[in-house]
Amino acid sequence: MPKPTEKIWHNGQFIPWEEARIHILSHVVSYGSCVFEGIRCYATPSGPAIFRLGDHVRRMLDSAKIYRMDLGFSAEQLAEAMVELVRVNNLEACYLRPIAIRGYGEMGVHPGKNPVEVYIACWEWGKYLGDEALTQGVDVCVSSWTRIAPNTLPALAKAAANYMNSQLIKMEAVTNGYAEGIALDANGYVSEGSGENLFLVRDGKILTPPLGASVLPGITRDTVFQLARDLEIPLTETLIPREMLYIADEVFFTGTAAEITPIRSIDRILVGSGRRGPITERLQKAFFDIVNGIAPDSYGWLTPVRQPVGVNS
């Protein structure tokens, strides 16, 4: 269980952690009608700072738009609420989870009469794939489950229902002794992990599946695009056949929770030499130096929590 903080934000009000409850017949429970986000706030020398807040809020609004959900709050209001939430809970580093659901109103698939409720919670969340994952890498498998197909559940929306597919991928992987599973898309090309985007490196070039391969448009994914450009490492979005995973020099996951996590084996085949590769390490360093406030925030990716400022990214 996450360690409770004092407050959760609900439709513009701060409420006690224990009071963030919903009725069992809320639309979301039967029909999965929920869009959400996952955002990290990092401890920096100048206090807590939220990473790419504006981009996460934008994706939340995009997810809501795809599902015809009116959140009733602007991007600025949501961003401000998140800054305030970290402040009132007095946290240095945490993970924020804004959640918009279709609530309690009517039964039946059509959600028209059910109110949209917006909540934002935060808690302290450590390393997603284990403490040593960032340095040692993780052992993963290719899932027997296929990622959600185009024009079924929209992959560009970060919707709770998509995570039923993710749960199948994750449970199968963990049951079989792996840290995570990589799903292929409906055409058999590499898609992504249950909760991470995927990159591979071969001959000094970075490859990642395009958005059309049923991947979430990850914000860490986009961060890697920008960091790779700065480091002058070529990067291409391209369809990736499964077997390319086995002959890559390096493979890594990206995600808000997973950050940049090296993969050291896939289906028990070693990736490269079976340890974190040099390009993965360079990207990790560039990423962590920025989020930890060691390198200058030249992209304007960090929103400080303690100073009275608005969103800067």
Hey, which residues are catalytic here? Answer: 158
Q: Which is nearer to ligand PPE, 254 or 303 (CB)?
A: 254
At closest approach, how far in Å is the CB of 113 from ligand PPE?
A: 29
User: Nearest-5° angle of CA 43, CA 44, CA 49?
Assistant: 70
User: Rounded to 5 degrees, what angle do the CA atoms 191, 193, 195 make?
Assistant: 125
Q: What is the dihedral of CA 293, 298, 300, 305, to 10 degrees?
A: 20
Which residue lies nearer to ligand PPE by CB, 181 or 255?
255
Provide the terminal-to-terminal Cα distance of the chain, rounded to the nearest Å.
31
Binding residues for ligand PPE, rule: CB under 6 A, are: 38, 166, 192, 195-197, 216, 218-221, 254-258
Residue 126 beta carbon to ligand PPE: minimum distance, rounded to whole angstroms: 13
Instruction: Name the residue with the smallest CB distance to ligand PPE.
Output: 38
**Min separation Cβ 255 and ligand PPE, Å:** 3
C-beta of residue 255 within 8 angstroms of C-beta of residue 275: no
Q: Give the Cα separation of 7 and 15 in Å (integer).
A: 5
Q: Helix 53-66 to helix 219-230 angle, to the nearest 10 degrees?
A: 140
Centre a 10 Å sphere on the Cβ of residue 117 and count the other Cβ atoms it contains: 21
Minimum CB separation of residue 245 from ligand PPE in Å reads: 17
Name the residue with tokens 């390393």.
Answer: 127
